[in-house]
Amino acid sequence: MKKIISTVLGILFAFTLNYSVANSAAKEVRVAYFLEWPSPNLEDMNKKAYSDALGVPVKWTNFTNGVAMTDAMLAGDIDISYSQGLMPYINAVKAKAPISLVDIAMEYGMGGTTCVTSNKSGITKANASELEGKKVAVPLGTMAEYVFTESMKIVGADRKKMDIIAMDPEEGAAALVSGDVVMACLFGGNSIKSATAVGTRLLTVDEARAGGIMGIDIVSVTNKFMKENPGMVKSFVELTHDANQRYRSGNSDLNAMAKESEMKIADMKDTLSGFKFLTPKETKKSMKSGNLSKFLKGFDTPKGTVTTKFLP
Amino acid sequence: MITGVLTFVFFFAIVGCVLYGRKLIRTEKVDAVFGNPERAKGGVHWVIVGSSFLLLIWLYYSWDIAKSFFPKSANELCQVGKVNESLLGLKYLFPIEQRQFKSTAIIQKETENLNEILLEINQSDLKNQDKNTLISFIDKTKKTIPLLTDENLLENETKEKIDVLAEKIFTLSENFSKSDFPNESVEDEKKRIQEANQEGTWSASSTSIENTIEIPSIPKTKRGLKFQAAAEELNLISDEFFEIRNHNSQYRNAYDKLSKEIKDFRSDLNSSDEIVSSFAKDILKIARRIEYASIFPPNALVNMQASIEKFDEVQNKEQGGLRWVDIFLFPSGTIISSGPSCSEQGSGRWLPKPSDTLNKFVLMMNPNVGFKQIPLIWYEMMDVSKIIGFILPDWIADILPGEYPVHNEKGEVNSNFKSKVLSFVTGDFELFKIPIPTGHIWDSFLRVFLGLVAGIIIGVPLGLFMGLNRFAKGFFDPLIELYRPVPPLAWAPLIISVLGIDNFGKVFLLFMVSLSIMIISARAGASGTQLSKIHAAHSLGASKWQILRHVIFPNSLPEILTGIRVATGMCWGTLVAAEFLAGTTGVGFVENVAKKYFQYEVIWITIFIMGMLGLLFDITIRKIIDKTIPWRGKG
């Protein structure tokens, strides 16, 4: 009996202590990113330039959605999330997650995130109210959900009357192909490609832009990492902007980028054409008074989680 | 309040029952030897101890005990969290919670990095001239470090700035222990208390119950105010400190010269010398990192460190009883402040308080709220005609002679016999309504039930057949043995793409799970029948069917029913995962969506529901077992 009690107490004690174990000395930096979501800094990732710039090894881990990135950051497994969608970030900050927004990865139109209706269903922008009562696949809690909600407002359909199925983009595309859903909202080049093979975009890129639908992907870091290693955050942001500059001037190594995003070069170029990589100046403006700040205000995001001090 | 009472109730229940149990052991004359099952009978008091212990653990680790006994502690700890947050950057520079000075660590790391590059350069097949230039760059970079760490080169201005800041922290520590710090005026106090009251109290996380704040951040108490005021001041000091750069003129010159040299060198290179250029770039990067990092002479920050340690000491003392509350009632985590808000980080975050969970559960059970507009479990009125329409196939109308009606010139549609039959077989008419259960729980339940029943109906006869017939055994064995060991979830993605995301795919997956288990158990039961019993029945003139019905089947029933029990458990496990993949209803779907919005209360509710439903299934089957095979384990 004594032995049992002491064992139980020991386990409880260990459980109480283990929370303090974290990435205290920053012997490596762990970064989250997306596949099928190309960006110029993937070239630097490919050439290990981040490890050189930060002075410690940088470990890149790919995720399927931004919500999972937040989970990993909260669990202490990820320090920096590159190109996390703004929606997952907002949800996380609203849930009081200790993370901060330090940079904008890119702004994009509906090119990279979109809703596709199947051709079989015959539903287009004109008769979109027919979506009501039918099944649509939406990756809830991500930027695609935002695009979905906004698109429905534009085409005048009531999302509450639809059967919304929570699916990641890859599965959503498969469900659209098999005819299980009449519309799938998705992001990522390959998923959109396989979806548009059997369907059409509900709104074209231009229509979406005219409707004011725009996506923003951001760079978020855990507060602990930001406070303890400001130098590394700064180097990370700087190198990212260097890469963006290189891309703007047309000197990026597209092969390396395609390899790291696991896309074909042509598909990648197509996806990239919808992205806008901001200059440091534009980023600052967007964060202070432009698109990003409007977006955050629109969703009642708690203030004080955005910082511009790491921008070059 | 209730939590407080419950805590005592559980505590005394445990103590009382343990005492009772010990007394019972002493008074009871135990003549049963060790290993006799009689010894394990009875013992309700131990059940009470077990469940009370579990609930107490829940109350403790969800910090509900802290909340009910020290409702203001969260608000105060939030202020302490603000102080800790403001000190985070400063403390990290010193070996207070780290092993080394940050300067030391950076110098070590960067020297290492430089040496690595040096090694790479030496091993590469560059031209000697380039090599020498690069090596000289490395040397120069290394030589900038002593310029930063030399005490004599430290500029007076920088020194003074640091001393001023250290002095500020010392003064703050002194003031901090005074009882009237930070000298709040009566008006301000009124205003603060009013604001704090408006803000509300420590309550459930806002992710699951709307319009609540998790931790109020405006200080409610004097002690809290002290910490908040200190945090504000420390933030300013910290910001000022990190603006200080130990860039004396000598270092500045050396660095500028170096970076210019490297840049010139790189711009003179041809495009063919890419490797040389990238080496030079890497060296420059290291030089820049050294420039950005706050490297100071070893003794320059002694004052600063002492002041921070002093402040830490004072603030720990000022926390007083709060510190013990933090240590003992906030196990595995604490309240931390980050940016504008405070939050629970640790077990209090992912283990919601029992009271909050119950509130949320009651809220969700309301059929008008439910989850995503679908109730957890409720009923809806459905016309019996729909059931008829479901049972009768639609093609009955198609094969009748005649044509479906066509609209006439007046724009009217007159129904004929064929169209009337069609509306009958499709259930398009009104009869009377009966209540039908609906909702997430019902959907999950139905899926498991259907999958299980289908598995039993096909699996049991097939299993018996395989146990009795050589052909059946040989023919089906490879198939069953190949698919049985595959974890059911491995089939899930495939089945969902082939059979769709509707109920059919999920039920089929569960059917596959239960089928293999039922076949195996029925087969084992059939082949395990004692030959003597079959012979006895045969010699009494029983037919084949009678032997099967009255000897073999009852004999394999224990195995079959155990199989059903196992299959139920497996089906539950698989169902939740299948609903994770794609779905619009079901308990697994609820859990999956709740996770995306960090609704930990909902997650725990779903876990609880699944546990309860699984238990319900199990108890039902146990009752059936007791009823149908009372002889089990008795012979």
Percent of chain B having pLDDT more than 90?
Answer: 27
Instruction: Name the residue among A95, A98, A228 with its Cβ closest to that of B89.
Output: A228
pLDDT digits (tens, 9 = 90+) for B362-396: 988 888 888 877 888 888 888 888 888 778 887 88
Q: Which residues of A touch B497 (CB under 8 A)?
A: 174, 178
- Give the C-alpha separation, B130 to B135, whole Å: 9
Amino acid B29: pLDDT: 64
Q: Does A302 touch chain B (CB under 8 A)?
A: yes
Amino acid A1: pLDDT: 53
Q: Does A20 touch chain B (CB under 8 A)?
A: no
Q: Report, as an integer, the average pLDDT of B98-113.
A: 86
User: Mapping DSSP to helix (H, G, I), strand (E, B) and coil, where does residue B272 land?
Assistant: helix
The yes-or-no verdict on residue B51 having pLDDT over 90 is yes
The yes-or-no verdict on residue B348 having pLDDT over 70 is yes
Q: What own/partner pairs with CB < 8 Å and gap ≥ 24 does B618-625 have? A: B618/B565, B618/B568, B618/B569, B621/B561, B621/B564, B621/B565, B621/B568, B622/B565, B624/B561, B625/B558, B625/B561, B625/B562, B625/B565
Is the backbone peptide bond immediately before B182 cis, with ω within 30 degrees of 0? yes
The yes-or-no verdict on residue B212 having pLDDT over 60 is yes
Q: Report, as an integer, the average pLDDT of B58-71.
A: 91
- Give the C-alpha separation, B110 to B262, whole Å: 18
- Give the C-alpha separation, B218 to B231, whole Å: 13
Amino acid A66: pLDDT: 85
If you compute the radius of gyration of chain A from its CA atoms, what whole number of angstroms results?
21
Q: Report, as an integer, the average pLDDT of B247-259.
A: 89
More confident residue, B623 or A15: B623
Residue B40 DSSP symbol: G
Confidence at B168, pLDDT banded by 50, 70, 90: very high
Amino acid A22: pLDDT: 41
User: What residues pair up with B46 in beta bridges, in sequence order?
Assistant: none
The residue extents of the domains of chain A are: 24-108+215-298, 113-210
pLDDT digits (tens, 9 = 90+) for A197-219: 888 888 887 888 788 788 889 99
- Residue B178, min C-alpha distance to chain A (Å): 30
Q: Does B403 touch chain A (CB under 8 A)?
A: no
The secondary element (H helix, E strand) that includes residue A308 is none
For chain B, the residue count is: 635
Q: Please, what sign has the CA dihedral across residues A140, A145, A148, A149?
A: positive
In which residue are the tokens 């030496």 written? B122
Specify whether domain A24-108+215-298 bears CATH 3.40.190.10. Answer: yes
pLDDT digits (tens, 9 = 90+) for B457-509: 999 999 999 998 899 999 999 988 888 888 888 888 788 778 877 788 889 98
- Give the C-alpha separation, A271 to A36, whole Å: 9
Please state the pTM of the whole predicted model: 0.79
The yes-or-no verdict on residue B242 having pLDDT over 90 is no
Confidence at A7, pLDDT banded by 50, 70, 90: low
Alpha helices in chain A (DSSP H): 2-17, 41-46, 49-54, 66-74, 86-94, 143-155, 169-178, 189-196, 205-210, 223-228, 230-248, 254-261, 265-273, 280-288, 291-298
The yes-or-no verdict on residue B49 having pLDDT over 90 is yes
Cβ distance of A96 and B584 shorter than 8 Å: no
For chain A, the residue count is: 312
Contact B366, B76 (CB under 8 A): no
Q: Does A53 touch chain B (CB under 8 A)?
A: yes
Instruction: Name the residue among A98, A166, A235 with its Cβ closest to that of B589.
Output: A166
The yes-or-no verdict on residue A4 having pLDDT over 70 is no
And the tokens for B284? 């420059």
Cβ distance of B336 and A98 shorter than 8 Å: yes
Cβ distance of B113 and A55 shorter than 8 Å: yes
The residues, any chain, with a CB within 8 Å of residue A119's CB and separated by 6 or more, are A198, A199, A200
Confidence at A17, pLDDT banded by 50, 70, 90: very low
Instruction: Name the residue among B88, B292, B372 with its Cβ closest to that of A227.
Output: B88
Q: Report, as an integer, the average pLDDT of A78-93.
A: 90
pLDDT digits (tens, 9 = 90+) for B569-620: 889 888 888 888 777 788 988 888 888 778 888 999 999 999 898 889 889 9
Q: What is the mean pLDDT of chain A?
A: 84
Query: In this structure, what is the dihedral angle of CA atoms B487, B492, B498, B502, given to the nearest 10 degrees?
Result: 140
Confidence at A23, pLDDT banded by 50, 70, 90: very low
- Closest residue, chain A, to B330 (C-alpha): A16
Amino acid A20: pLDDT: 40
Distance between start and end Cα atoms, chain B: 55
- Give the C-alpha separation, B306 to B125, whole Å: 51
Amino acid B106: pLDDT: 86
The yes-or-no verdict on residue A104 having pLDDT over 90 is yes
Amino acid B547: pLDDT: 92
The yes-or-no verdict on residue A11 having pLDDT over 80 is no
Q: How many CB atoms lie within 10 A of CB B83?
A: 26
Amino acid B208: pLDDT: 62
Instruction: Name the residue among A53, A100, A231 with its Cβ closest to that of B293.
Output: A231
The yes-or-no verdict on residue B558 having pLDDT over 50 is yes
Q: Which of A218, A226, A217 is nearest to A29 (CA)?
A: A226
Query: In this structure, what is the dihedral angle of CA atoms B450, B451, B454, B456, given to the nearest 10 degrees?
Result: -110
The yes-or-no verdict on residue A10 having pLDDT over 70 is no
Q: What is the mean pLDDT of chain B?
A: 87
Q: Report, as an integer, the average pLDDT of A6-12.
A: 59
Q: Which of B161, B165, B147 is nearest to B296 (CA)?
A: B147
Class for the domain spanning B439-628: mainly alpha
pLDDT digits (tens, 9 = 90+) for A130-173: 888 888 998 888 888 888 988 888 888 888 888 888 888 888 88
- Give the C-alpha separation, A97 to B597, whole Å: 12
- Residue A91, min C-alpha distance to chain B (Å): 7
Confidence at B130, pLDDT banded by 50, 70, 90: confident
Q: Provide the pairing of β-strand A183-187 with A135-138.
A: parallel
The yes-or-no verdict on residue B207 having pLDDT over 70 is no
**Which of these ranges, B135-139, B209-213, B244-248, B353-357, has the smallest mean pLDDT?**
B209-213
- Give the C-alpha separation, A159 to A116, whole Å: 15
Q: Which residues of B touch A52 (CB under 8 A)?
A: 282, 285
- Give the C-alpha separation, B48 to B16, whole Å: 10
Classify residue B160 by burial, with Cβ atoms within 10 Å: 0-12, 13-18, 19+.
exposed
- Closest residue, chain B, to A161 (C-alpha): B373
The yes-or-no verdict on residue A25 having pLDDT over 60 is no
Confidence at A18, pLDDT banded by 50, 70, 90: very low
Q: What is the CATH number of domain A113-210?
A: 3.40.190.10
pLDDT digits (tens, 9 = 90+) for B108-128: 888 988 998 899 888 888 888
- Residue B595, min C-alpha distance to chain A (Å): 9
